[in-house]
Structure 1
């Protein structure tokens, strides 16, 4: 038994050292869950610096892991939703799908993602129409979810209607999340922070 423990300890030590050499992203730490509908892994974590990060498809439950719940819950609870604009968003969000690319390692993502979820809750958004993709510092996923999406900064929140992109908020809102969402969804001329 002692021999087995030593072998396992050595294996873990090698795996951790190897993972830090690969852009500080490591091996799966087995916190993932399997989506009931499509059997995809969600809320998959990998080692990152002295903790972990989510990598790949995720959902709100992933933010309740110990590594993320403090910033997520505090950001959610402390955010004051512009309820007037959230009410205006309700009918506009009905036929919309949203894809969010964010990094649990990224301060901008840590700030904006909880706020975004609180706005969606205030607008009674159907969360089954939200796809959350968590990326590495290189803005990539092992599955390639970012391919063809032009993800340069995170968070990037993309709004779709009938599979056509209506617009996106990149890294931070221009006016506020609610007002930027309203501008995009109501068809106003909107340019995100990095638009040319």
Structure 2
């Protein structure tokens, strides 16, 4: 089996943005293949502390694994998106592609990712235009999906139109996920939490 290096935190990180200690982990075989590329693995897991983490390309099905379904399903069910803002998002989301970089080990990702999926569902977003990348604590993947994307904190949600980045939400929204999305997609000035 191929070995990967990931960083395991000495203590649980609240701000999902740094860690120090490296440990070797073995890849798991709990994966499925994508229909677009039969050789591309999706929802791959690696050992993490007393459980596992997703690492690499993933999709919503991955969040239904035992290690993740409690926080995902609870966060999804409990989130009530602002319906007026979601209605305003619907036309803005047309022709938009979204990339989400998150860590299943990260408290911020565990909070924001289910909320984000709920907003997308409420807005009737075409999920085929969503790319979900799950990263290690050092914000990397074995395939290098993060390269050139400046992923420093997770979750990082990047919005694209015509392959051009419109903006990103980093770690947590400034106002709310749906209102920050509306600001970005309507072309208004937006600075994420770590913008200089």
Q: Fold conserved (TM > 0.5)?
A: yes
Aligned pairs for 1:1-196 within 5 A? 23-24=22-23, 26-39=25-38, 40-196=40-196
Deviation of the 1:148 alpha carbon: 0.3
- Deviation, 1:23, is 2.8
Structure 2 residue matching 1:190: 3-state secondary structure? coil
* Cα distance in 1 for residues equivalent to 2:47 and 2:75: 23
Runs of 4+ in 1 over 3 A off after TM superposition: none
Separation of aligned partners in 2, 1:125 and 1:24? 38
TM-score by length of 2: 0.88
Give distance in 1, aligned partners of 2:44 and 2:178: 29
- Secondary structure of 2:193's aligned partner: coil
Query: Structure 1 residues 145 and 29 mapped into 2: Cα distance closer, same or farther (>3 Å)?
Result: same
Q: Provide the aligned C-alpha RMSD in A.
A: 1.5
For the residue of structure 2 that corresponds to 1:23, the secondary structure is: strand
Query: Helix, strand or coil: the match of 2:22?
Result: coil
3-state SS of paired residue (2:52): strand
How many residue pairs get matched?
178
Say which is worse superposed, 131-140 or 36-45, in terms of deviation: 36-45
CA shift, 1:24, in A, is 4.3
TM superposition shift of 1:121:
0.1
Give 1:27 deviation, angstroms. 1.3
Task: Give the SS at the match of 2:108.
Answer: helix
Q: Distance in 1 between matches of 2:92 and 2:190?
A: 16
Structure 1 Cα separation of the partners of residues 76 and 58 of structure 2:
17
* Richer in helix (by share): 1
Q: TM-score, normalised by structure 1?
A: 0.88
CA distance in 2: counterparts of 1:142 and 1:157, whole angstroms = 20
